[in-house]
Structure 1
């Protein structure tokens, strides 16, 4: 056995070998040491090798999926080695023969299909990148749904595309792996090397033609050599990991390089599109806008949000679907109610195709196509946009399969086919007979006994059973003469004579005995045969079922967007090819949702970055911290992103000219693992923006230059803003605390000042969260520090220093001279403002007033009295 283990392990040196032994997967040697530590399970030993104990650990087969998920998440790959024959067969070759075993699957992050190992609302992409001279391409596939796509992709664009797709695994040619290793690590993907032969376009084309059983790839479109090589490498890798059982892949779809809004990894992180900065889904844009009710719809929504379209026709078509459902309230509610009954059709179909499915996957497809037919009936007489009409037409055509599955399956089948009991009674006569014999054997025998008693006329005749004869007919010696007579002897066969009785059998009784004894196994075999037949029927219609799943997802997303727009009072954006960016009363969806939960209102704000006489395409935003600058910046970026995703937007109105790229430099963070300070990270991200942004980009920058000395930071921020205006010529929101930069608005035609309004009251600062034209007069940093809870003595001292610095600046005495004049420790700290010892006369008078009992003339007189108490001011 150990020799067999070591021989199989040779083929998978980089994977943990799950070696099947009965009801356990066992691991040995270094695999056992690594797995026991990763899974926190006991490490034992079994036998010796080269004089040393063999480390061993194991996991039960029935719960192996959970252990697999843990190992995959910790960066391991697992080779699953199964028993390829029954142990009884091995014994026929000799008592010490080893059961044949072989690896049936290599489990890697990008090739998971099990329901328990995947997030139902997220894709699990496996990607491959290929370069052929000056051409390059990225292909990706989700084997759990069959989605297969490819696009031209330069090395420069590879990083934002990986950020968009977030693949779990990236396959690279081994000569590219070293050069792109850091980029792969940054993307969060697990890197896998393949030989150059796997990416060869000639061999790749043959693999693709064989997979899709076609004569030419022209049937799917025109692909470059780099694209064919990338797709072929994926197919080769799937063949290696799935041991020849290739998944049900849809025909490849070619995406345009500039068909979607380019959003780099830093911008996605800063805007918290699908994950919050803490890493979870809660607090992200996706978590707030997701109203989908199906797993397929959830995955499509995430894909739309991660890849906003730049195709006007596509954007308008999607917005039309939202408008249709928003106006048809009753239809929307009915469709969404039916969609809630739709299981994950795509992944059930994929598991069946890979022979990893079970009866519940059959039931999922049955329920899914039944729900699809119900929704199709609802939509049958509606005048719908083209997208919805096409989706509705894809929901029908499965009547025969639906009827077959409905007749064949019980309502709630078991998880595994080997458990049996999933075929409905009445579907197969042989199965019903086997089940009856298995469950009602005694009743069947009693029926035969009554039949034989009537046939022979011997009422005392009995059918009995023992371990030697099995079932037999027993009668007394007196009656036996009758059964031994010429008339009955041909039918009743003599078996045994005892002192008190004679025993007989019949051909029918012997056959029935065999059937009863084998009924349990026979019923399972029949069910497995029927299961295989049903799977074959489904796989024969796999393409049509997959189309239905896509249609249901499309309907779910459109209806979800409509429900969102109705409940949150969102509006339809106007999207065109201009450079307009005009948002009236815009809101930040995530912040607004948080404020609603706490019972506070969100202050909406306008933003107009359109070219023309009324406004500039760059706003320079000043104002104190905590006033809402970052929220204002982010909300406008999110509004553009939502509009191009096909959603309504949180605003009174929005006119968005297509945004080709979205860049965000908001917030601060170190990258200590790569030796980068906060300022260095900021400069790297800013450099990426200035080098890539085109005239249709939307850029939001917050506090550029704050991580270094004041004049260095000011000069960098100043030069950055000039470059955005002169070279990039893009639309931008630029927030800063360098008030000196407000002078640029007078020098640059495309720059306009804006500020977040605040109000001071008795030394306190009140944030109004309103964006107004003009520049802030100060930063209110000391007031914000006070709100943060700094000690009163620190706040008082800060006010003294601030006043001295401002005085020195006004009088021109220079900052250094002012600092020199300030004592290191104040002899007597400036007294902190003490609150009044008690309520004022005005407050006391107000406390005694009962508004409900006042007449108008009394109220007016009270106002005069209160004014007098204030000293007539």
Structure 2
């Protein structure tokens, strides 16, 4: 295919053959160019012009390009649209290529493969969210999941059987998932998780060679120091590392030792429940409207990422939760300390991501400055916490914030206050740090002054006041005197210093060894200064990376302090309480509130009505009440309170006692899955089946309107059986909302079921929602009234009332539904709108009356007038 190609196009095609599944960004000067099908796809995705460059095999070569200086924005667009991009850089100066011949092509190589899970650039990442790359491997029937955030260096792994993969990926929300090629059963993984699925050869998941690869990476003889890993875990970790080697072309990021997680250590929440509760993402995919958006008061990016991780996987370990609660309680009760910490934290940068960029040689002077600033903030935080009687978590964090003073002093002395973005620009090393650099800068910036100083020295040495140092393009710098001083300059001892170079009609020109050397140094001073700064940058970068371990510990300590102080700020500002957690099956919340809904109501100037929920003695509540009364809000708020409590936060309630929740299941709201051929009812049944098959006696289950998607009696029978199964088999805690009032009869038959209702009041045919949950049952659903509020035509609402009354009265008298329907007169298809009611004379008279302005005598006269009008 390359026979008729130009040398440059032949090189492009050769490089492209090595990355067939990626768009190739081919560096040409100040642009990344794309050709052939890559250009067509990129031009459409980026909405840029598609041009052409020459011909190949008789056809025009499609071409498009993006500027190098703004390539990151285009990369982000392509990655979000599912593309992978290979970056081919020029590996030599074009002048070097010309030395091999006028038609020689500049050497180019792919230096990096950009994929959704391997981003490190600040502009391509959400600072407040992790960017995980995950890998799932299986060895002899045992599965494991490993995941890493290349931008921070964190690496984790856990045993994960295939059925648990979906829920775990829903928790982590990775951007890319690696699986072994030709592994069946993953066809829908990309659709279900939203992550890009990448297949690797099975050799990448080999645990034998993978162990060697991991030991080599961490420079250890065995992984035992990091934990006892199963073969499947080693296979998943090895695949991660190999993929990073492939995409980074051997330049591995700074990867921390793998942390082994236990699936039983975190509350289990499946994907459907996460969507329903909107824990970290609202229905539209954003933060606003999600629990995360409502409670996030962190001031650092690392703290925000830690908060998301805690809400995504609340702990099930009582000692861990209580330690986190103690830290929050300490700062809640000491608001001045909390505010001081938050003030210092605002000076902390994203240490983990700065370290990662430096390790990959993609960092710059500002990353060094960010580390310097963060070390300074850490010192201030440690000093603020010093001397206080701290809970264990804060005491441990404070101890991890010190010990890097020498590195801070080095960076502080070496860097200017506001360094430039790029190392190649220079100007980031502070004056006085390096004598050679200072001299190079002096020559570069003060060349005239240096020459003037040398001229003064030569005048003093020679005693010739007319001596000048001049410059031209032929001789460079030279010493010039008039012809009258020729004899003196050519005689000893001056001729030993000044070497004669040229004689003109009226002048003699000389040079000296010192002047020649100075000339060379002045001419090279600019380049030398940049070279010296680059060497100093590399030295500082090496010093930082040598302290990567302690810096990582410090970064985690800052995130813990940030999260604890943000939870404390939230608790004080929103009047939340510290929940009492234990290992029982208790669940009691006094005046609980929905944090997201309450926040929205506050913005609108309204208040949220809190409600009690007690599942301790009767673990299942059967909740009735009309639509729009607040049933769904009540269901979700109790689940969110459990999540917040086990994440270590205070909760939106007056008081709360919660026995550890092992799992949360939510089936609230109607949705379909048309892409997979599932109706709303089928989706409901699939999710309900998952709950009934998995919920244990420590689970919390919230269900809304089970069975409403099918015929009335079918739906009622399904709801009835589901409630019995939750009570007798799962034996979990839960709230079951329904419009099937027949189910309330179960409360008298099942000892663990209680009834509750959302109170409403009917006023002049309209329904008023009180948003209060009370014990008892609703006498009806108020569906017709809600339909009227929704804006149904008055004729339809009136007809619905007639039909409802007939059906209800017939049912009370034992009539058959079909007979009742047959007896109802047909509703006119095109019923005219009701005539506009005429206002009476009495109403007109009353409209003009101001009761507060009437005297007793005037009021009596008004009564007589109205009575007379009524008689008319």
Q: Please give the range of the TM-score, normalised by the shorter of the 2 chains.
A: over 0.9
SS of the residue 1:121 aligns to: coil
Matched, 1:204 2:206: no
TM-score normalised by length of structure 2: 0.95
Alignment-derived partner of residue 550 in structure 1: 556
Alignment-derived partner of residue 371 in structure 1: 377
8 Å contact kept, 1:125–1:167: yes
Single out whichever of 644-653 and 665-674 deviates more from structure 2: 665-674
| Distance in structure 2 (CA, Å) of the matches to 1:644 and 1:621 | 25
Matched, 1:769 2:771: yes
Q: Which of 779, 787, 790 matches 1:788? A: 790
Alignment-derived partner of residue 632 in structure 1: 634
Aligned residue runs from structure 1 range 473-872, under 5 A: 473-611=479-617, 616-826=618-828, 847-848=851-852
Alpha-carbon distance, 1:834 to partner: 6.7
| Distance in structure 2 (CA, Å) of the matches to 1:554 and 1:27 | 45
Alpha-carbon distance, 1:847 to partner: 4.4
- For the structure 1 residues 842 and 641, does the alpha-carbon distance in structure 2 shift closer, same or farther, using more than 3 Å as the test? farther
- For the structure 1 residues 578 and 824, does the alpha-carbon distance in structure 2 shift closer, same or farther, using more than 3 Å as the test? same
Single out whichever of 179-188 and 122-131 deviates more from structure 2: 179-188
Alpha-carbon distance, 1:832 to partner: 9.3
8 Å contact kept, 1:413–1:422: yes
Alignment-derived partner of residue 310 in structure 1: 316
8 Å contact kept, 2:137–2:145: yes
Alpha-carbon distance, 1:96 to partner: 2.0
| Distance in structure 1 (CA, Å) of the matches to 2:678 and 2:499 | 94
| Distance in structure 2 (CA, Å) of the matches to 1:606 and 1:846 | 44
Per-residue CA distance 1:527-557 (angstroms, 9 max, x = gap) = 0000000000000000001110000000000
Q: Which of 58, 69, 77 matches 1:62? A: 69
Alpha-carbon distance, 1:845 to partner: 8.8
Per-residue CA distance 1:5-29 (angstroms, 9 max, x = gap) = 1111111110111111111111111
Alignment-derived partner of residue 398 in structure 2: 392
Alignment-derived partner of residue 870 in structure 2: none
Matched, 1:74 2:81: yes
SS of the residue 1:486 aligns to: coil
| Distance in structure 1 (CA, Å) of the matches to 2:848 and 2:718 | 55
Alpha-carbon distance, 1:481 to partner: 2.2
Single out whichever of 34-43 and 623-632 deviates more from structure 2: 34-43
8 Å contact kept, 1:796–1:832: no
Aligned residue runs from structure 1 range 216-255, under 5 A: 216-255=222-261
| Distance in structure 1 (CA, Å) of the matches to 2:791 and 2:175 | 44
| Distance in structure 2 (CA, Å) of the matches to 1:687 and 1:726 | 16
Alpha-carbon distance, 1:672 to partner: 1.4
| Distance in structure 2 (CA, Å) of the matches to 1:652 and 1:790 | 40
Unaligned runs of 5+ in 1: none
Per-residue CA distance 1:384-433 (angstroms, 9 max, x = gap) = 11111111111001111101100110111111100111111111111111
| Distance in structure 2 (CA, Å) of the matches to 1:809 and 1:507 | 118
TM-score normalised by length of structure 1: 0.95
Alignment-derived partner of residue 139 in structure 2: 132
Matched, 1:320 2:339: no
Alpha-carbon distance, 1:92 to partner: 2.2
Matched, 1:284 2:290: yes
- Give the aligned CA root-mean-square deviation in angstroms: 2.1
Q: Which of 37, 42, 46 matches 1:35? A: 42
- For the structure 1 residues 644 and 40, does the alpha-carbon distance in structure 2 shift closer, same or farther, using more than 3 Å as the test? same
Matched, 1:458 2:460: no
* Number of aligned positions between the proteins: 852
Alpha-carbon distance, 1:220 to partner: 0.8
| Distance in structure 1 (CA, Å) of the matches to 2:811 and 2:776 | 23
| Distance in structure 2 (CA, Å) of the matches to 1:54 and 1:772 | 74
8 Å contact kept, 2:585–2:658: yes
Per-residue CA distance 1:63-100 (angstroms, 9 max, x = gap) = 11111111111101011111112222222222222221
Alpha-carbon distance, 1:830 to partner: 11
| Distance in structure 1 (CA, Å) of the matches to 2:851 and 2:442 | 87
Matched, 1:108 2:121: no
Alignment-derived partner of residue 420 in structure 2: 414
8 Å contact kept, 2:580–2:657: yes
- For the structure 1 residues 120 and 830, does the alpha-carbon distance in structure 2 shift closer, same or farther, using more than 3 Å as the test? closer
| Distance in structure 1 (CA, Å) of the matches to 2:573 and 2:851 | 41
| Distance in structure 1 (CA, Å) of the matches to 2:846 and 2:692 | 58
8 Å contact kept, 1:800–1:830: no
Matched, 1:85 2:89: no
SS of the residue 1:162 aligns to: helix
SS of the residue 1:343 aligns to: coil
Per-residue CA distance 1:636-695 (angstroms, 9 max, x = gap) = 000000000000000011111111111101111121111111111111111111111111
8 Å contact kept, 1:561–1:648: yes
8 Å contact kept, 2:328–2:649: yes
| Distance in structure 2 (CA, Å) of the matches to 1:419 and 1:293 | 31
8 Å contact kept, 1:797–1:829: no
Matched, 1:152 2:159: yes
Alpha-carbon distance, 1:846 to partner: 8.3
- For the structure 1 residues 596 and 834, does the alpha-carbon distance in structure 2 shift closer, same or farther, using more than 3 Å as the test? farther
8 Å contact kept, 1:582–1:655: yes
| Distance in structure 2 (CA, Å) of the matches to 1:660 and 1:801 | 47
- For the structure 1 residues 805 and 645, does the alpha-carbon distance in structure 2 shift closer, same or farther, using more than 3 Å as the test? same
| Distance in structure 1 (CA, Å) of the matches to 2:630 and 2:844 | 34
Matched, 1:469 2:469: no
Alignment-derived partner of residue 332 in structure 1: 338
Alpha-carbon distance, 1:480 to partner: 2.5
